[in-house]
Amino acid sequence: MKFFFNLKTITKNIFIFCLFYILSVVVLQNKLIAQEKLYQEPYRPQYHFSPKANWTNDPNGLVYVKGVYHLFYQYNPFGNVWGHMTWGHATSKDLLHWDHQPIAIPEEKDTMIFSGTCVYDQINSSGLGTKEKPPMVAIYTGHIKDVNQSQHVAFSIDEGKTWTKYNKNPILDLGKKDFRDPKVFWYAPKKYWVMCVNLPLEHQVQFYASTNLLNWKFLSDFGPKGDTTGVWECPDLVQIPVLNSTNKKWVLQVSMSEKMQYFMGEFNGVNFILDSNQKTILRPNAGPDYYAGITYGQLPANHLPTTIAWANNWRYAGNIPTSPWKGAMTLPRNLWAENNNGVWHLIQRPITNLNSLRKKLAYQKIATEAKDETISLESIGINADVYECNFELSSASKEKVGISVLNDKFRGVEIGYEPSLKQVFINRTKTNSFSEKEFADIRYFTAPINTATDKIKFKVFVDNSIIEVFVNDGESVFTVQAFPVHSDKNIKILNTTTQGSVKNLQIYLLQSIW
């Protein structure tokens, strides 16, 4: 009986082991299947950065180190909603193809990791590394809900692979609940680091200086100026080239609630001096889904200033119909300054190596031949809303002209020119299956355009749920989200009565970065 009992027990254990093994294999297979399906979900951008899963918002700590572009970003490692703010991390060699890295700086106890900067401290001014292993230093806002926001430091001596929080945090604390989003850069003429950081409720940017990234001295403040209808966040101060010139200008950008604005001027290492001719509010983006844009730090001398923003809007960001991720980044853009009738403006263009994603020229036409012509994407070998579309419109047109993307018989996102207003526009009124009221209320967007030239040039990037439009080589820019039904796979020419109004139409199939 004893032998039989042991045999019975052994048989039972073998059965349990086999069952456990089978279940483990099934779970592993399901995980592998789930991984295989990532970046194939409905609405998932194919050439805009998004994390594998979960919530993301502001880009953080954009820095170039030894040939690698680092992208840190606000991230919730526990879910697809805002919360538990942590720094996610990705790296790239070309600003297009990204490798996901382990979480950089995690939330700890009651302190979330809000937005900030990363710098490569090559001379080890902070003493947080060594001469042989200079540290990467992240300066970020530590957020304790309803209690305090102050500036903290974390550092890495293995080029961003692992991070250690500074043991004497915070490094800058005004005892305020709202004091956030430090941008830090090296100001060579005075041989010190400069921090610009927001007092959100006061609508001010404060400037501080430090020789070691740890001890900071107040320099000056800027504001209130321009748009003060929302709290100021995510300041970014950078010197940019003047278009077609060897001169340079300084641009200060801030974000507020659901928009951004910028100020053109000069910076002397202590004060930002606004150009006296800037009388109106200037926006870097005419669309609704562009926020917290910041520029890369420590780029090579011959590298153009480059910025990335969050392609979303706080009014509805938590409710967009995407899963298992929520939130993506804009395409990287290069920046210039241009003087137009005595007022300086930003010029923004997509980075040129985006052209490397062109898989083929799927369609080309010198001029459209029929009113309301429709181009089926599937008929030209494009089976998803992942493409680039370039075309020209005449500024002498008497009627509204343009194209409609994500289009079928009744829906579409219209992009074009309204001659009666002398404005370019984008209209997502008719496209979305997403019924969120806050989203539906923000649907028609315009920007003034220089009509002195005969042609208005459009470069349109469609990436499933994100549309980015660059007009006249970056004179105006729109970033817009749209969530179409899956049958919306056409481009329609908006020729109401005029034949040939859309010219030099090119459609490129773009390949996924994943």
Q: How confident is the model at residue 191, as a pLDDT?
A: 98
Angle at 307 between CA 304 and CA 310, to 5 degrees: 165
Is 58 marked active-site? yes
Give the model confidence (pLDDT) of 93-114 as tens digits: 999 999 999 999 999 999 999 9
> What does the H/E/C string look like for 29-60?
HHHHHHHHHCCCCCCCCCCCCCCCCEEEEEEE
pLDDT at position 78 over 50: yes
Lowest mean pLDDT among 11-25, 79-93, 218-232, 320-334: 11-25
Question: For 273-285, what is the mean pLDDT?
Answer: 97
Which residue ranges form the domains of the chain, and what is each CATH number?
Answer: 54-350 (2.115.10.20), 354-510 (2.60.120.560)
Question: For 336-361, what is the mean pLDDT?
Answer: 96
Give the model confidence (pLDDT) of 34-50 as tens digits: 555 899 999 999 999 99
Q: How confident is the model at residue 441, as a pLDDT?
A: 87
Q: How confident is the model at residue 226, as a pLDDT?
A: 97
Mean pLDDT rounded to a whole number for the chain: 91
Could you say which of 58, 181, 385, 463 is catalytic?
Answer: 58
CA distances from 263 to 229, 267, 347, 425, 495 (A): 16, 11, 13, 24, 38
**Local confidence band at 163 (pLDDT 50, 70, 90 cut-offs):** very high
pLDDT at position 9 over 70: no
Q: How confident is the model at residue 440, as a pLDDT?
A: 83
Strands 325-326 and 54-65: parallel
Question: For 501-513, what is the mean pLDDT?
Answer: 95
Q: How confident is the model at residue 17, as a pLDDT?
A: 42
pTM of the predicted structure, to 2 decimals: 0.92
Give the model confidence (pLDDT) of 417-462 as tens digits: 999 899 999 999 887 667 678 888 889 999 999 878 789 999 999 9
Q: How confident is the model at residue 68, as a pLDDT?
A: 98
Give the model confidence (pLDDT) of 341-350 as tens digits: 899 999 999 9
Q: How confident is the model at residue 500, as a pLDDT?
A: 59
Contact between 84 and 78 under an 8 Å Cβ cutoff? The reply is yes
The total number of residues shown for the chain amounts to 514
Q: Backbone phi, then psi, for 67, in 5-degree steps?
A: 85, 5
Q: How confident is the model at residue 370, as a pLDDT?
A: 63
Percentage with pLDDT > 70 across the chain: 91
Reference 191, options 209, 215, 217; nearest CA is 209
**Local confidence band at 1 (pLDDT 50, 70, 90 cut-offs):** very low
Give the model confidence (pLDDT) of 289-320 as tens digits: 999 999 999 999 999 999 999 999 999 999 99
Q: How confident is the model at residue 23, as a pLDDT?
A: 37
Reference 509, options 354, 331, 356, 362; nearest CA is 362
**Which amino acid, one-letter code, is at 161?**
K
